[in-house]
């Protein structure tokens, strides 16, 4: 059985693209969120725009119920692993979301 994962999903240029005042959903990433949620993984939505912005965008896409929480991206991380903190993470680019 696959272990359940903790997945952080970005907003801008990942869930949506913004052109002026228009927000365009990135459907492969929205579908990825739905698949990961359906598979039982724990998802968090985050953005430099803050927690409320993350929640609003997720709600506008109809996927807010997929997330356990909404967070701002950190400015500082205090951790004993330092620069190696994310060496064990898998990074997925929005253009590859449909392949995962």
Least confident among 8-22, 33-47, 73-87: 73-87
The superfamily (CATH) of domain 1-74 is HAD superfamily/HAD-like (3.40.50.1000)
CA 47 to CA 34: how far, in whole Å? Answer: 19
Structure tokens given for 21? 């005042």
pLDDT confidence of residue 1: 61
- Dump pLDDT digits (tens) for 57-85: 999 999 999 999 999 998 888 888 777 77
Would you list the domain boundaries of the chain? 1-74
């Amino acid at each position: 059985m696959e272990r359940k994962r903790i997945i952080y999903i970005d907003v801008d240029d990942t869930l949506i693209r913004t052109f002026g005042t228009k927000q365009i959903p990135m459907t492969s990433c929205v579908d990825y969120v739905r698949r990961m949620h359906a598979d039982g993984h724990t998802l968090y939505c985050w953005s430099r725009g803050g927690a409320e912005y993350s929640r609003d965008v997720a709600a506008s896409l109809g996927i807010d119920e997929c997330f356990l929480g909404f967070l701002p991206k950190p400015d500082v991380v205090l951790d004993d692993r330092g620069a190696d903190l994310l060496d064990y993470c898998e990074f997925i680019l929005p253009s590859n979301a449909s392949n995962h």
